[in-house]
Amino acid sequence: MNYIVFDLEFNMFFQFKEGDFANPDLKNEIIQIGAVKLNNRLEKIGEFNSLIKPVIYKRMNPFVKKKTNIDISRVAQRRSFVEVIKSFNSWLGNDSVLCSWGQDDILGLRENCSFFGIDAIPLDKFINIQKVYMTYRNLPKQPGLESAVEDLEIEKNLPFHDALSDASYTSDVFRKVYDFSETAIINWEKVQAESEKKIAELKTIISQANIECPECKRFVQKSSAVTKAKKYFAFGYCAECNILIRHVSRIVNKDGEYCIVSNNSIYEKDEK
């Protein structure tokens, strides 16, 4: 079994002029895939690095350009995502575990694959190295890759925010913190499908949340309400306390479980 430690760089929407809109089906477009292949003793046996020509966000978001140093001229003549992902897939080989720092890259990989109609990449075996590191150090909050590299005294000889160097640093972290426990390997595809199902269920009931007056704890009627993605906003008025209440409900992940968290606060005191 090989471990594929990968990292991605994305370009995303930026409003250059009025009338520019993001594509709701592809929020983050992959412009670089970097990966390091490790054998079952975590020795490096190969690497993959490819820049990708963006087709949805064809101008470089200025923040991305600043962070990654990727100028449009560096990617405009490159191969398309579909071509690169095919090479990447054959480079993976059979019986590989995909590994990355955090969940953003595997989410982005899945989003891009589904947008471009590719279903070849195996997402059933995945290790979140950030999580392994957090367990190793007993950390409550998600740390950045660079802080983990510093903490583990890994030599910083490459620039960060380049997909291949980040993959390389992540593999160095992995080598220091992984105890070969099989429980770190999750069926990400299955977990993700279950999360999406749970989120969809919660979305159907989020607007049923009650507005409770934060002062007297009575339930009050909703005056206006709007649902946005994983959030629900409403207003209510407590005639007893003479206050306007702002209600916000959010779908959040608490200790691995999705649930609705509601907050009611005084919006503005009516000084009648």
State which residue, 151 or 215, has the beta carbon closest to Zn ion. Answer: 215
**Contact status: 20 vs Zn ion (CB under 5 A):** no
In whole angstroms, give the CA distance from residue 242 to residue 269.
Answer: 7
Candidate list 193, 216, 226, 261; residue touching Zn ion; CB under 5 A: 216
Distance CA 267, CA 52 (A): 47
Taking CB under 5 A as the criterion, the residue among 240, 252, 259, 261 binding Zn ion is: 240
Number of residues forming the site for Zn ion (CB under 5 A): 6
Choice between 95 and 240, CB closer to Zn ion: 240
Among 215, 222, 235, 258, binds Zn ion (CB under 5 A): 215
Terminal-residue alpha carbon distance, the chain: 72
User: Smallest gap, in angstroms, from Cβ of residue 207 to Zn ion?
Assistant: 22
Could you give the 3-state DSSP secondary structure of residue 32? strand
Helix (H) or strand (E) holding 8: strand 2-12
- E-strand ranges in 58-163 read 96-100, 126-128
Least separation in angstroms between residue 211's CB and Zn ion is: 10
| Sheet containing 126-128: order of strands | 44-51, 28-38, 2-12, 96-100, 126-128
Say how far apart CA 143 and CA 29 lie, in whole Å: 24
**Which window, 127-135, 157-165, 202-210, 239-247, contacts Zn ion (CB under 5 A)?**
239-247
Q: Does 226 bind Zn ion (CB under 5 A)?
A: no
- Beta carbon nearer to Zn ion, 20 or 240: 240
111 contributes a contact to Zn ion by CB under 5 A: no
The amino acid occupying position 63 is: F
Q: Of 58, 46, 116, whose CA–CA distance to 84 is shortest? A: 116
Residue 213 touches Zn ion, criterion: CB under 5 A? yes
Nearer to Zn ion, 131 or 222 (CB): 222
**C-alpha span between 138 and 186 (Å, rounded):** 20
Burial tier of 104 (Cβ tally within 10 Å: 0-12, 13-18, 19+): middle
**Nearer to Zn ion among residue 122 and residue 214 (C-beta):** 214
- The span from the CA of 142 to the CA of 161, in Å, is 17
- Closest to Zn ion by CB, 98 vs 211, is 211
CB of 244 to Zn ion, least distance (A): 11
CB of 71 to Zn ion, least distance (A): 57
5, 99, 149, 238: residue in contact with Zn ion (rule CB under 5 A):
238
Where along the sequence are the contacts to Zn ion (CB under 5 A)? 213, 215-216, 238, 240-241
